């Protein structure tokens, strides 16, 4: 009888290794940097590049849990509103005399609670897609922020709070260090733990995962709660950087975040993608923005570019399918 | 749950009818409540104002209903509206002799082109509607700023004939209301009596069987987003004419109100169901809320929160009603 060989691990081949989306991202990243350096002589400067990371890393904290959500096949468009609400609550409490340390903790708690409510609604009402639930909570959370602060701005935070957005440890921006720590934690969580494996399983087949004993609701709630918590972290850094907050803070962040995740090769149909892709995409879009900003490309033009980039990124895998079909015929 | 017999369909339909009745009763109660607080609410003048303000919302709701029926969603309509409004406003300010009808046609054409692009992305390139429209929303919004160079087109730059689109009246009714009524009649006929209209529902309720039965899903999807774009383009011209100003951030976030009107009117996010009568009621309810809240001294900053809560409550009630229908269907099968 022939001996059966069960292949547990795919054989390593250089061809498949280099034909990955992540390498494509690295190439685009290099291309963006070369173009930027040619466009502006001020671009290639270690100090300014380092400081540029401080301007775009605030939203990167939401990208990390959003990778989980999109791998689950869901989407969360309420994150920007959670940023606004937790930031406004924090500022409101501080101006009412609550000590800043406590206000920061409450800010994180508010974000976590918002995320938990999202998760709870999505799992309790399975008929409703995550799109519509987070659409509703997106309006509600920002609505509450408007109720609290109306059209005012709140600020005048203590000196130490400014450190979050502006501080350096040695010569490295504080926000970069915090982001690196979180990125490692989330990457390990996704790729090295059973929790991460279960998220992938749920993304590729929810019913099968449920029948194989995964507590799908629990995991979904946890993932959405994480998104809420990280939105609150973003709120901390963003508020610290801006120095004050308004109810319309972080408008449009959900698009940036989703664009980064999708550009990072995480499939919107769920179950596919890696954390490293999303992290590369964060820096790609960040440096693209910074470089084009240096040569005075207007912000509205950037809006168009990011929007088109998002669509292009989603289209590429589909085009590959088309091409393959076409070549076969 | 697939429905096998006629009886079950009628059970679902009766509950849906009850739903609309419930909405109507809610609207009436709301009106009475507001009227008791502020007697100027149910005056002819205010009602006319309210319906005129709701006209644009209800025009957009028709297109959004078709999109949601095919299981999609369109977040780009606010941006499409701004783009078409800006282009037509700039045209009439550069050529004041332009006939208003021509301006309307131009705006609608801009909208149709935008809608066709989104439709292609959704149907041919297979991009999720939410991603495609989120991306194009930014592209269109950015284009609006670029076309205008960040400037506004304000009232004194527009010829009177253009502003008259929204202020004139036909048969004693405001032109906006007349346009909305005509659109409702056309689309009622379209989705009830034409083959293509029925195919939209077929694609929405079961894409696979629609395909097998010979419907070209791609074409239907493309058509639906094109209609949505065309209606947003038309709404853009009406909006600019009504408010007599075109800005880069015109109607930003308006898509949420439109989706809210559809969801309130019982259009199911899961696709395949939604009625013209429902979205009329949904739009009117939103219009009443927008009009009545300031009248009973609710701060405008509360509006967003209230609107969001109403959307959430409406979708949750929709879900619970559907659960009830499914349960009763199962019970019937057991007997």
Decide if A214 is inside a domain: yes
Nearest CB to A314; choose among B127, B142, B302: B127
| Cβ contacts of B195 within 8 Å, gap of 6 or more | none
Decide if A81 is inside a domain: yes
Contacts of B141 in chain A (CB under 8 A): 300, 303
Write the DSSP assignment of A22-64 as a string of letters: HHHHHHHHHHHHHHHHHH-TTSS-HHHHHHHHHHHHHHHHHHH
Contacts of B267 in chain A (CB under 8 A): none
Q: What is the pLDDT of residues A252-287, one digit of tens each?
A: 888 889 888 988 888 888 888 889 999 999 998 888
Number of other CB atoms surrounding residue A216 within 10 Å? 18
Chain A interface mutation, best of B75, B124, B132, B142, highest count of A Cβ atoms under 10 Å? B142
**How many structural domains are present in chain B?**
1
Decide if A40 is inside a domain: no
The answer to whether B278 touches B265, Cβ cutoff 8 Å, is: yes
Task: Report the length, in residues, of chain B.
Answer: 335
pLDDT value for A10: 61
B191: distance to nearest CA of chain A, Å? Answer: 24
Q: What is the pLDDT of residues B303-333, one digit of tens each?
A: 888 888 888 888 888 788 778 777 777 777 6
pLDDT band, very low/low/confident/very high, at B6 (cuts 50, 70, 90): very low
- Measuring CA to CA, which residue among A270, A220, A190, A203 is closest to residue A118? A220
Q: CA angle, corner B5, sides to B4 and B10, nearest 5?
A: 120
User: CA distances (Å), A136 to each of A132, A250, B109, B152, B256, in order?
Assistant: 6, 17, 31, 31, 9
Considering only CA atoms, give the Rg of chain A: 21
Q: Is the pLDDT of residue B97 over 50?
A: yes
Residue B51 half-sphere exposure, CB side, CA atoms within 13 Å?
16
Mean confidence (pLDDT) of chain B: 85
Task: Please state the three-class secondary structure of chain B as a single string.
Answer: CCCCCHHHHHHHHHHHHHHHHHHHHHHHHHHHHHHHHCCCCCCHHHHHHHHHHHHHHHHHHHHHHHHHHCCCCCCCHHHHHHHHHHHHHHHHHHCCCCCHHHHHHHHHHHHHHHHHHHHHHHHCCCCCHHHHHHHHHHHHHHHHHHHHCCCCECHHHCCHHHHHHHHCEECCEEHHHHHHHHHHHHHHHHHHHCHHHHHHHHHHHCHHHHHHCCCCHHHHHHHHHHHHHHHHHHHHHHHHHHHCCECCCCCCCHHHHHHHHHHHCCCCCCCCCCCHHHHHHHHHHHHHHHHHHHHCCCCHHHHHHHHHHHHHHHHHHHHHHHHHHHHHHHHHHHC
- Measuring CA to CA, which residue among A30, A46, A203, A220 is closest to residue A124? A220
Q: CA angle, corner A90, sides to A86 and A94, nearest 5?
A: 170
Crossing angle (nearest 10°) for helices B254-264 and B303-334: 30
- The two three-digit tokens of residue B58, written as one number: 């209800």
- Measuring CA to CA, which residue among A79, A40, A47, A18 is closest to residue A288? A40
Nearest CB to B312; choose among A75, A140, A252: A140
pLDDT value for A19: 65
Q: Output the pTM of the full model.
A: 0.84
Q: What is the pLDDT of residues B71-87, one digit of tens each?
A: 888 989 999 999 999 99
Q: Is the pLDDT of residue B59 over 90?
A: yes
- Measuring CA to CA, which residue among B62, B61, B40, B51 is closest to residue B288? B51
Lowest-pLDDT range of A186-200, A216-230, B33-47, B192-206? B33-47
Decide if B296 is inside a domain: yes
Residues A147, B303: C-beta atoms closer than 8 Å? no
Q: Is the pLDDT of residue B2 over 60?
A: no
Decide if A155 is inside a domain: yes
- Measuring CA to CA, which residue among A210, A188, A212, A190 is closest to residue A200? A190
- The two three-digit tokens of residue A115, written as one number: 């995320």
Lowest-pLDDT range of A76-85, B57-66, B89-98? B89-98
A136: distance to nearest CA of chain B, Å? Answer: 5
Decide if B177 is inside a domain: yes
The predicted model gives B191-212 an average pLDDT of 91
Residues B259, A135: C-beta atoms closer than 8 Å? yes
Residues B127, A318: C-beta atoms closer than 8 Å? yes
Helix, coil or strand: residue A322: helix
**How many structural domains are present in chain A?**
1
Q: Is the pLDDT of residue B24 over 70?
A: yes
pLDDT value for B127: 85
Report the percent of chain A where pLDDT is more than 70.
Answer: 90
CA closest to B315 among chain A residues = A128
pLDDT band, very low/low/confident/very high, at B55 (cuts 50, 70, 90): very high
Q: Phi and psi at residue A172, in whole multiples of 5°?
A: -100, 135
pLDDT value for B80: 94
For residues A36 and A29, give the distance between their C-alpha atoms in angstroms, rounded to a whole number.
11
- Measuring CA to CA, which residue among B28, B91, B95 is closest to residue B237? B91
Residue B1 half-sphere exposure, CB side, CA atoms within 13 Å?
19
CA closest to A139 among chain B residues = B308
**Chain A residues 257-276 with CB within 8 Å of chain B:** 258-259, 262, 268-269
Decide if A198 is inside a domain: yes
The answer to whether A71 touches A270, Cβ cutoff 8 Å, is: yes
Q: How far is Cα of residue A6 from the mean position of the Cα atoms in its chain? A: 38
Residues A307, B138: C-beta atoms closer than 8 Å? yes
Q: Specify the CATH number for the domain of residue B156.
A: 1.10.3470
Considering only CA atoms, give the Rg of chain B: 21
pLDDT value for A170: 82
The answer to whether A118 touches A224, Cβ cutoff 8 Å, is: yes
Q: What is the pLDDT of residues B218-262, one digit of tens each?
A: 999 999 999 999 999 999 999 999 888 888 788 877 888 898 888
The answer to whether A86 touches A110, Cβ cutoff 8 Å, is: yes
- Measuring CA to CA, which residue among A198, A221, A65, A216 is closest to residue A133? A221
String of b and e for B235-258 (b: at least 16 CB within 10 Å)? bbbbbbbbbbbbbbebbbebbbbb
Nearest CB to B312; choose among A77, A131, A136: A136
The answer to whether B276 touches B62, Cβ cutoff 8 Å, is: yes
The answer to whether B166 touches B175, Cβ cutoff 8 Å, is: yes
pLDDT band, very low/low/confident/very high, at B3 (cuts 50, 70, 90): very low
pLDDT value for A88: 94
Q: Is the pLDDT of residue B5 over 50?
A: no
Chain B interface mutation, best of A126, A304, A317, A322, highest count of B Cβ atoms under 10 Å? A304
Helix, coil or strand: residue A10: coil
User: CA distances (Å), A29 to each of A50, A307, A320, B28, in order?
Assistant: 16, 18, 21, 59
For residues B136 and B74, give the distance between their C-alpha atoms in angstroms, rounded to a whole number.
10
Q: What is the pLDDT of residues B117-140, one digit of tens each?
A: 999 999 988 888 888 898 899 899
Residues A139, B307: C-beta atoms closer than 8 Å? yes
List residues of chain B with CB under 8 Å from any CB of chain A: 73, 121, 125-128, 130-132, 134-139, 141-143, 145-146, 150, 248, 256, 259, 263, 269-270, 299, 301-309, 311-312, 315-316, 318-319, 322-323
Q: pLDDT tens for chain A, 329 residues: list them.
A: 556 665 555 666 666 666 677 787 888 888 888 888 887 777 777 788 888 888 888 889 999 999 999 999 898 989 999 999 999 999 999 999 889 999 999 999 999 999 999 999 999 988 888 888 998 999 999 999 999 988 888 888 888 888 888 888 888 889 999 999 999 999 999 999 999 999 999 999 999 999 999 999 999 999 999 999 999 999 999 999 988 898 888 888 888 898 889 888 888 888 888 899 999 999 988 888 888 888 888 878 888 888 888 888 777 766 666 666 666 55
For residues B270 and B182, give the distance between their C-alpha atoms in angstroms, rounded to a whole number.
28
CA closest to A132 among chain B residues = B269
Residue-range definition of the domain harbouring residue A159: 70-306
Contacts of A310 in chain B (CB under 8 A): 131, 134-135, 138
pLDDT value for B114: 95
Decide if B155 is inside a domain: yes
- The two three-digit tokens of residue A15, written as one number: 């061809």
The residue assigned the tokens 């253009």 is: B162
Decide if B146 is inside a domain: yes
Residues B135, A307: C-beta atoms closer than 8 Å? yes
CA closest to A149 among chain B residues = B301
Q: Are strands A244-245 and A154-155 parallel, antiparallel or unpaired?
A: antiparallel
Residue-range definition of the domain harbouring residue B272: 55-326
The enclosing H or E element of A245 equals: strand A244-245
Decide if A133 is inside a domain: yes
């Amino acid at each position: 009888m022939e001996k059966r060989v069960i292949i547990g691990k795919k054989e390593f081949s250089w061809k498949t290794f280099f034909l990955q989306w992540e390498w494509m991202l690295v190439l685009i990243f290099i291309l963006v940097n070369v173009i930027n350096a040619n466009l502006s002589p001020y671009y290639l400067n270690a100090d300014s590049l380092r400081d540029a990371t401080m301007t775009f890393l605030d939203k990167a904290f939401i990208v990390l849990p959003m990778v989980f959500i999109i791998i689950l096949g869901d989407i969360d468009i309420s994150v920007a509103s959670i940023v606004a609400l937790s930031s406004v609550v924090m500022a409101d409490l501080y101006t009412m005399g609550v000590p800043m340390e406590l206000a920061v903790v409450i800010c994180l708690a508010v974000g976590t609670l918002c995320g938990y409510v999202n998760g709870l609604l999505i799992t309790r009402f399975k008929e409703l897609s995550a799109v519509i639930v987070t659409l509703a909570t997106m309006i509600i959370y920002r609505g509450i922020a408007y109720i609290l602060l109306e059209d005012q701005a709140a600020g005048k935070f203590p000196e130490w709070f400014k450190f979050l957005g502006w501080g350096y440890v040695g010569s490295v921006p504080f926000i970069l260090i915090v982001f690196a720590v979180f990125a490692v934690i989330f990457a390990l969580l996704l790729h090295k733990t059973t929790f991460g494996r279960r998220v992938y399983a749920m993304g590729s087949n929810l019913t099968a995962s449920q029948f194989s004993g995964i507590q799908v609701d629990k995991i979904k709630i946890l993932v959405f709660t994480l998104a809420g918590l990280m939105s609150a972290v973003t709120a901390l850094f963003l508020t610290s950087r801006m120095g004050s907050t308004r109810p319309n803070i972080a408008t449009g962040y959900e698009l940036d975040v989703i664009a980064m995740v999708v550009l990072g090769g995480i499939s919107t149909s769920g179950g596919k993608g890696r954390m490293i892709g999303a992290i590369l995409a964060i820096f790609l879009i960040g440096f693209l923005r910074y470089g084009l900003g240096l040569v005075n490309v207007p912000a509205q033009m950037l809006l168009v570019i990011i929007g088109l980039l998002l669509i292009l990124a989603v289209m590429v895998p589909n085009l590959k399918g088309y091409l393959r079909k076409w070549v076969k015929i | 749950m697939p429905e096998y017999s006629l009886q079950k369909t009628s059970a679902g339909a009766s509950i849906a009818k009850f739903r609309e009745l419930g909405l109507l009763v809610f609207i009436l109660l709301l009106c009475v409540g507001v009227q008791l607080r502020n007697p100027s609410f149910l005056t002819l003048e205010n009602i006319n104002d309210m319906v005129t303000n709701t006209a644009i919302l209800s025009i957009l709701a028709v297109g959004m209903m078709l999109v949601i029926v095919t299981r999609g969603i369109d977040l780009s309509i606010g941006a499409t509206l701004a783009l078409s409004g800006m282009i037509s406003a700039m045209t009439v300010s550069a050529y004041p002799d332009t006939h208003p009808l021509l301006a309307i046609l131009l705006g609608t054409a801009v909208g149709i082109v935008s809608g066709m692009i989104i439709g292609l992305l959704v149907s041919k390139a297979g991009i999720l509607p939410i991603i495609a429209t989120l991306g194009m929303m930014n592209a269109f919004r950015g284009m609006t700023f670029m076309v205008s160079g960040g400037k506004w087109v304000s009232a004194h730059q527009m010829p009177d004939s253009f502003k008259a689109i929204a202020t004139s009246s036909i048969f004693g009714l405001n032109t906006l209301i007349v346009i909305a009524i005509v659109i409702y009649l056309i689309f009622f006929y379209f989705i009830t009596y034409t083959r293509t209209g029925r195919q939209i529902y077929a694609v929405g309720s079961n894409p696979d069987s629609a395909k097998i039965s010979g419907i070209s899903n791609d074409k239907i999807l493309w058509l639906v987003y094109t209609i949505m774009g065309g209606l947003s383009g038309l709404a853009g011209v009406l909006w600019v004419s009504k408010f007599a100003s075109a800005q880069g951030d015109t109607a930003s976030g308006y898509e949420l109100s439109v989706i809210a009107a559809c969801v309130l009117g019982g259009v199911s996010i899961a696709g395949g169901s939604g009625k013209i009568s429902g979205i009329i009621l949904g739009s009117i309810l939103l219009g009443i809320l927008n009009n009545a809240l300031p009248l009973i001294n609710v701060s405008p900053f509360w509006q967003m929160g209230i609107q969001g809560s109403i959307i959430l409550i409406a979708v949750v009630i929709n879900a619970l009603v559907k659960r009830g229908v499914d349960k009763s269907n199962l019970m019937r099968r057991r007997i």
